[in-house]
Structure 1
Amino acid sequence: MFRRRTALLVHPALDDDALHATLTELRPTPQLHGLGAGSSRPLWQPVADLLRDTGRDWDRRWHRMSVLANHLPPAVCERWIGERPDDGDALALWSCVRCVRRAAADGWTAVRDAERACLRAAEVCPEDPTPWLALLGLMHSLAVPPRDAVPVWTEAVTRAPWHRGAYHRLLSYLSPRGHGSVADMMDFARQGAARAPHGSPLALLPVAARVELVAHRQRQTSLGADSHWNEPLAGAEIESALTDWFHTAAAPHAEAVADLNILAFALVRAHRPSDTAPVFRRIGRRMTPHPWALLPEPERTFLYWRDREGGRPGR
């Protein structure tokens, strides 16, 4: 039973093979001082190549930047920004790194440095929503009230109107587990889904918000948290996610794997086996910790439901 867990692919890069390859190439070794030694190629060149190839796909750019900021060896970005201080990609990534790795113990000097990094990147890359989303993350970590954070979010979606990452970042901000309320979160999710174009992954926003609601209720008390999936409105939200996103011919987006896991989780909790199977088949082995970590033994639970609903991959 336990050996089956190794078949899962649980990785922050999701199904982005190019991002995964870059992280693997730059993975720290026991000889950290030798990272990049013996090569005429700059240490940061694989990251620069990856971001150059990403182009203006703002959705994938944000996914790649946020994963890189959390998982790159610190020396890589430090050397890149040191050697190319005016490089737009380097500045955008540096803004993400500074916001992610700013420790609370570092005080307001680190906060101001992170803020300046975001604003500098936004100045050099005026069309890129990434620096604004990095700044929004910084504000989240500082518990800035949502009314002051929304203008920053607006800067991001002005540049990329249906940016999946931007909407999910503000959803997290407005969550009762963040700095908002149930009413604020659900209203934002429903309005975003209603306005999004057909085929947009934002159709899943109300389902993602309901997962947040369950997590919030579960943190307060384990009793009755799952009753939210039995409400008629929950069924309508799931149906809209299936009709307006899952069953459309929309091209996969950068974090489609994460959305598929949210949808599969909701379908399992709502007891909709006929709809669950095709979602699990599309997921295959790519489980994400969220939202399965809300259940006991997440990996074992995921495998149980995937195999029970006929979603086991054929390879």
Structure 2
Amino acid sequence: MSFLSTRRKASRIMLELDDVHLGKLLKSLRTTMRSGAIASTDLRVSQIADFLKGRDWDRHTFHLGVLAHFLADTPVPSKWAEQQPDNATALVLHAWSELFRARATGNSEGVSRARTNCLRAADLAPLDPTPWIVLLTVSRLERYRTADTFYVWNEILLRDRWNREAYLSMMRYLSPDEAGSRLQVLEFVDSLRSRMPVNAPCAATELTSQVLHYQSIRARGGVEGLMARNYWKDIHVTAALDHASRHWTQPSFLSHAAALADLNTLAYALTSADRPREARPVFRAIGGAVTSWPWQFEGDPLSAFQRAQSRAEASR
């Protein structure tokens, strides 16, 4: 994660966040896409296969998720899976890209293929949590029975105890928008808070749940929507914000791959809670790496980020 700086960097939406090597790969992939060369798909497959060889599960999950999003509208994931049907990483990338496409288009045709690929990948790479992480999203989309979803969840925990993507996915599954309730989310967060290391990759699960709840209150409109900012005055919500703003910008406190995404969430929460002065060091730690969520709730995410950043810098 970048260290605090008083110099403002030009902000932009950055899928790669501060991962320099991933950023170089995305830039190279964009170049080959624009070239239109017949062999460009094979070239991209080769580049991605070379890149995705690490076994740091936190960073590996992050890399796969970003690439699945980036390549969802291209033939690259399916091409790689066809070429190497016994490569677990290729199968997971294909499965995850299918899910991104299904959510973007509303067409669930690829979800069953994603399920098949995940199960095959899990057999091929029994220590790898990523087939199960993607399968957890499949279980949410296909409305698995609760027992089956928790079976998938437990398989993830056996392989990567504090995986950020998995905890955020499970928290959303337990929300009122899917298969649970607000009470179940709170119980899940309380249980996590009492057990996890304070700087674990999933450290932002509680704050993310609070931002989602705040946005859901605002979305209801009327008087309730207008009074949504009072949500941030709740003693438990305030405590979570206080802890995050006090610790997360300390050098090397957050070291997981998506730390800057979590800092975007913190900056948004502090701004929403009318605490712009406290948001100032968070924006400086973020630099220019903007994430679409949660800023997109306020309209264009980049513009919303820049407005909040300017407000924080001007606060006294």
Q: TM-score range by the shorter chain?
A: 0.7 to 0.9
Structure 1 residue identity aligned to 2:97: V
TM-score normalised according to structure 1 size: 0.84
Paired position in structure 2 for 1:61: 60
Paired position in structure 1 for 2:289: 286
CA–CA separation in structure 2 for the residues paired with 1:248 and 1:177: 36
Which 10-residue stretch deviates more, 67-76 or 133-142?
Answer: 67-76
Quick one: structure 1 residues 194 and 204, their matched pair in 2 at CA, closer, same or farther if it must change by over 3 Å?
farther
Identity of aligned residues (%): 32
Instruction: Verify: 1:34 aligned to 2:51, yes or no.
Output: no
Paired position in structure 2 for 1:74: 74
Give yes or no for contact 1:175–1:182 (8 Å, CA) kept in 2.
Answer: yes
Paired position in structure 1 for 2:20: 17
Paired position in structure 1 for 2:4: none
Structure 1 residue 124 displacement after superposition: 0.8
Give yes or no for contact 1:80–1:90 (8 Å, CA) kept in 2.
Answer: yes
Give yes or no for contact 1:265–1:292 (8 Å, CA) kept in 2.
Answer: yes
Structure 1 residue 213 displacement after superposition: 0.5
Quick one: structure 1 residues 249 and 11, their matched pair in 2 at CA, closer, same or farther if it must change by over 3 Å?
closer
Quick one: structure 1 residues 290 and 169, their matched pair in 2 at CA, closer, same or farther if it must change by over 3 Å?
same
CA–CA separation in structure 2 for the residues paired with 1:245 and 1:190: 19
CA–CA separation in structure 2 for the residues paired with 1:234 and 1:251: 20
2:290 is paired with a residue of what secondary structure? coil
Structure 1 residue 104 displacement after superposition: 5.6
Structure 1 residue 262 displacement after superposition: 0.7
Quick one: structure 1 residues 244 and 127, their matched pair in 2 at CA, closer, same or farther if it must change by over 3 Å?
farther
CA–CA separation in structure 1 for the residues paired with 2:299 and 2:40: 42
Paired position in structure 2 for 1:93: 93
Quick one: structure 1 residues 209 and 82, their matched pair in 2 at CA, closer, same or farther if it must change by over 3 Å?
same
Which 10-residue stretch deviates more, 243-252 or 67-76?
Answer: 243-252
Measured against aligned partners, the alpha-carbon deviations of 1:105-145 in whole angstroms (never above 9, x if no partner) come to 465xx443321110110111111111111111112222335
TM-score normalised according to structure 2 size: 0.84
Q: Which runs of 5+ in 1 are unaligned?
A: 1-5
Paired position in structure 2 for 1:3: none
- 1:1-315 counterparts in 2 under 5 A? 7-27=10-30, 29=33, 32=36, 34-36=38-40, 42-52=43-53, 55-72=54-71, 74-102=74-102, 105=107, 107=109, 110-221=110-221, 222-243=225-246, 245-247=248-250, 249-296=252-299, 298-310=301-313
Which 10-residue stretch deviates more, 15-24 or 59-68?
Answer: 15-24
Give yes or no for contact 1:29–1:35 (8 Å, CA) kept in 2.
Answer: no
Q: Which runs of 5+ in 2 are unaligned?
A: 1-8
CA–CA separation in structure 1 for the residues paired with 2:245 and 2:136: 30
Structure 2 residue identity aligned to 1:231: D
Quick one: structure 1 residues 97 and 289, their matched pair in 2 at CA, closer, same or farther if it must change by over 3 Å?
closer
Q: Which has the higher contact order (CA 8 A, sep 6+)?
A: 2
1:310 is paired with a residue of what secondary structure? helix
